[in-house]
Amino acid sequence: MAGWRGVSLWMEQLDETLTPRPALHQDLHADVVIIGAGYSGLWTAYYLKQQAPQLKIAIVESQIAGFGASGRNGGWLMGNLLGEDRLLGPLPAAQRHAGYQLLHAIPDEVARVCHAEDIDCNLRKGGVLYCAARYPEQERRLREQLAAAREQGLGEDDYRWLSPAALREQLNVARSYGALYSPHCATLQPARLVRGLAEVVERMGVHIFEQSAVIDWKPGQVRTEHGRIKADWVVPAVEGYASVLPALNKHQLAAQSLIVATEPLPADVWAEIGLNRGQAFSENSRQVTYGQRSGDDRLVFGARGGYRFGGHLRSDFKLSHAERELRQRLFSELFPILRNVRLTHAWGGNLGVARRFHPHMLADLRQQIALAGGYGGEGVGASNLGGRTVAALILGQDNELTRQPWVFGDRALASLPRWEPEPLRWLGYNAIIQSFVHEDRVLANPHAPRWRRKMAEGLAGCMERLMKTKEPFA
Ligand SMILES: Cc1cc2nc3c(=O)[nH]c(=O)nc-3n(C[C@H](O)[C@H](O)[C@H](O)COP(=O)(O)OP(=O)(O)OC[C@H]3O[C@@H](n4cnc5c(N)ncnc54)[C@H](O)[C@@H]3O)c2cc1C
């Protein structure tokens, strides 16, 4: 893989030539300038133009549309937000119910736009299988999650338990303790969505400047090496790249996620594994694991990630032998039939994590800065909601989008929770991840005695709770 095609399997699969759009070589005025042509920036432009076609909107992108996480992700289009239970849980029942409905409707909204705008991204709404697969503790934890969902008023239509036999009808994992199934998820070809969206907004009259990195920004203005755009509203939509925009980097921290794809697998292998209607699946370790069957019958499997001291970006995503091996070992444990299968693609990307581990959406009315981000690896669907919400905030609307607990309304950018300074972040990250890795190793060993299992799980659980509290290092 080479150049922009080499960014991911998905970018390589595109039929188009990936010729960059012209760069910014002049000074311009616009109503709204958006930094970054990923889903967040493009959805914002889309919903703004839909409702206010007269707006002059410009997008400046450092590489090409889809270069970031939007052209690289695992293709889970979720009707959820990271941390939604913590945000919606405390609300009165009716409001909580409405919040969940808004989230669960995200995949259908994306499907609606794709249909209306003729974006073919192989979107299939097959739901998601959260599998209890490698050790029995996963079943207990998933059943606890199901009980918590029921307490929040979510019913059988939202989450239901599948016995090992019922799971096998959809997905055949080696060791199965059952699964939690939710219909509110689709899978898609991510790059086709982001590239398609770019074309759509361009047709609507949005100017996209590519290979135009913003080197300086402030309220009312962004500057690239060869031009400047003055605008009423500035929308930074860089997610995992927040470290390049000072002020934003205090609130959105870069982490990395790594992913591999097998060669296309023959029909008899898929007959054994399943996943025949676009389901997403994960294995319920405390560390991230996710997968889907691609349109051309590959297993696309992402697992684990990384954090670099100071939140530095990773730019070289040529995975090491060890990084590929780890992912192949993990999916082979689930699907032993794939033990010797060839990996043809391996890549990764930077994503943004917010301090409270849930996304934020806001419009700072004084500085006229609006943004959505901090999706923490669950941004394919969330960025659609983010774009819709940011558009509503810029247009001064007061509606169900703007009245959600993840919306900071008219608060200042500086009011978003901040990350602790280094080396606290790095030490904290490593302590937490090591406790998760240790737990996974102990629990996956069927001979580990009960007391060791309990201790490992207790420690990792404690670290997870600590991570999500307000000020863990204060
Ligand atoms: C490997 C991986 C797997 C993932 N899997 C999933 C998944 O299956 N489901 C899910 O929900 N989420 C997933 N995510 C997260 C999801 O992809 C992101 O949350 C989402 O794509 C964020 O979109 P965005 O537009 O906010 O950011 P991005 O797509 O990262 O876009 C930001 C853009 O800003 C540009 N940019 C950066 N700096 C500048 C600058 N100085 N000037 C101008 N432009 C700049 C970048 O080039 C980039 O194009 C995954 C992420 C990764 C990395």
> Distance between terminal CA atoms of the chain?
45
- Model confidence pLDDT, tens digit, residues 110-160: 999 999 999 999 999 999 999 999 899 999 999 999 999 999 999 999 999
Distance 240 CA to ligand 1 centre (A): 6
SS3 call for 182: strand
- Give residue 469's pLDDT band: very low, low, confident or very high (50, 70, 90): low
- Model confidence pLDDT, tens digit, residues 43-77: 999 999 999 999 999 999 999 999 999 999 999 99
Show Cβ contacts of residue 223 under 8 Å, excluding neighbours closer than 6 positions: 214, 215, 216, 217
Taking CA atoms only, the protein residue closest to ligand 1 atom 12 is 378
Beta bridge partners of 21: none
Do residues 372 and 336 lie in contact, with contact meaning Cβ atoms separated by under 8 Å?
no
- 359 close to ligand 1 (CB < 6 Angstrom): no
User: pLDDT at residue 442 above 50?
Assistant: yes
User: pLDDT at residue 106 above 70?
Assistant: yes
Q: Which of 351, 371, 388 to mutate to test the pocket of ligand 1 (most atoms within 8 A of CB)?
A: 351
Provide the residue ranges of all domains of the chain, joining segments of one domain with +: 3-73+190-251+356-415, 125-187+254-351, 424-468
Block residue for tokens 């927040």: 242
- Give residue 470's pLDDT band: very low, low, confident or very high (50, 70, 90): low
For residues 360 and 354, what is the distance between their CA atoms, to the nearest angstrom?
8
Of 213, 265, 166, nearest to 63 by C-alpha is 213
Residue 381, number of CB atoms within 10 A of its CB: 26
CATH 3.20.20.80 correct for 125-187+254-351: no
Ranges of H-type helices in 225-283:
267-273
- Model confidence pLDDT, tens digit, residues 270-320: 999 999 999 999 999 988 899 999 999 999 999 988 999 989 999 999 999
- 152 close to ligand 1 (CB < 6 Angstrom): no
Q: Which of 24, 61, 211 to mutate to test the pocket of ligand 1 (most atoms within 8 A of CB)?
A: 61
- Residue range 3-73+190-251+356-415, CATH number: 3.50.50.60
- 47 close to ligand 1 (CB < 6 Angstrom): no
Distance 63 CA to ligand 1 centre (A): 12
For residues 319 and 257, what is the distance between their CA atoms, to the nearest angstrom?
11
- 114 close to ligand 1 (CB < 6 Angstrom): no
Would you say how long the chain is, in residues?
A: 474
Distance 351 CA to ligand 1 centre (A): 6
- Six token digits for residue 435: 């406790």
SS3 call for 275: coil
- Model confidence pLDDT, tens digit, residues 367-405: 999 999 999 999 999 999 999 999 999 999 999 999 999
SS3 call for 58: strand
* Helix, strand, coil shares, percent, the chain, to 5: 40, 20, 40
